[in-house]
């Protein structure tokens, strides 16, 4: 196991068809897990439905979209952890940061992804999430970001700029200090 934890392997999934037409959900057809650096096993049971929804849609062009890059496996574990009533969102986000590193993300990418999910937690509690629906985001002609989208993007950019000044292996407390300066979680 690496110092950032390890995964059980590659997730086995199948795409689900959504009657509403979104077709973004997947179901796990085998159990999948992540063992974090403290030895806690984060289990995603067979049959769990995931959708990579923790990164706010307005940040996809900056941070990355669901199911892409070296954080795909971390996002699966994070999705399930965020929906577990016995798991604190902050704990799920810290696990996500470590799992991103275990999955092959650089420290810079993991810091930015961590900021993205922390902003996701903040925005879901603080902003009108109705502003970020697929229909409102993709089908505006001409496309012009809403004020909430612009605000979220600018907050993320401020945080990202400051995070890149931290040392490579900055602690979670150091990352949180930067994030909390810009958004109150």
Residue ranges of domains in the chain: 6-182
Nearest Cα neighbor of 53 from 88, 94, 28, 83 is: 83
pLDDT at residue number 150: 85
pLDDT, one tens digit per residue, over 65-119 is: 777 889 999 999 999 999 999 999 999 999 999 999 999 999 999 999 999 889 8
The residues pairing with 33 across neighbouring beta strands, listed in sequence order, are 43
The DSSP secondary structure of 78-146, one letter per residue, reads: HHHHHT-TTS-HHHHHHHHHHHHHHTT--HHHHHHHHHHHHHHHHHHHHS-GGGG-HHHHHS-SS----
**Nearest-10 Cα torsion for 120, 124, 125, 129:** 150
pLDDT at residue number 140: 42
Rounded Cα distance between 175 and 166, Å, is 8
Rounded Cα distance between 178 and 76, Å, is 26
Q: pTM score, two decimals?
A: 0.84
Which portions of the chain are predicted below pLDDT 50?
131-142
pLDDT at residue number 23: 76
Nearest Cα neighbor of 28 from 55, 9, 56 is: 9
Rounded (to 5) percent helix, strand, coil in the chain? 50, 10, 40
pLDDT at residue number 59: 77
pLDDT at residue number 143: 55
Rounded Cα distance between 75 and 68, Å, is 10
């Amino acid at each position: 196991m690496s110092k950032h934890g390890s995964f059980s392997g590659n997730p086995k999934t199948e795409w689900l068809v959504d009657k509403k037409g979104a077709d973004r959900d997947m179901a796990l057809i085998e159990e999948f897990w992540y063992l974090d650096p403290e030895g806690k096993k984060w289990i995603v049971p067979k049959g769990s439905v995931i959708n990579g929804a923790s990164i706010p849609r307005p940040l996809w062009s900056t941070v990355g979209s669901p199911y892409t890059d070296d954080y795909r496996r971390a996002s699966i574990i994070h999705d399930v952890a965020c929906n577990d009533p016995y798991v604190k969102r902050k704990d799920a986000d810290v696990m996500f940061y470590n799992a991103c590193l275990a999955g092959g993300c650089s420290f810079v990418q993991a810091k930015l992804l961590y900021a993205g999910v922390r902003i996701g937690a903040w925005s879901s509690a603080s902003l009108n999430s109705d502003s970020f629906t697929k229909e409102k985001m993709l089908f505006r002609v001409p496309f012009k970001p809403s004020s909430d989208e612009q605000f979220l993007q600018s907050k993320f950019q401020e945080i990202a700029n400051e995070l890149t000044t931290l040392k490579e292996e900055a602690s979670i407390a150091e990352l949180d200090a930067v994030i909390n300066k810009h958004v109150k979680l």
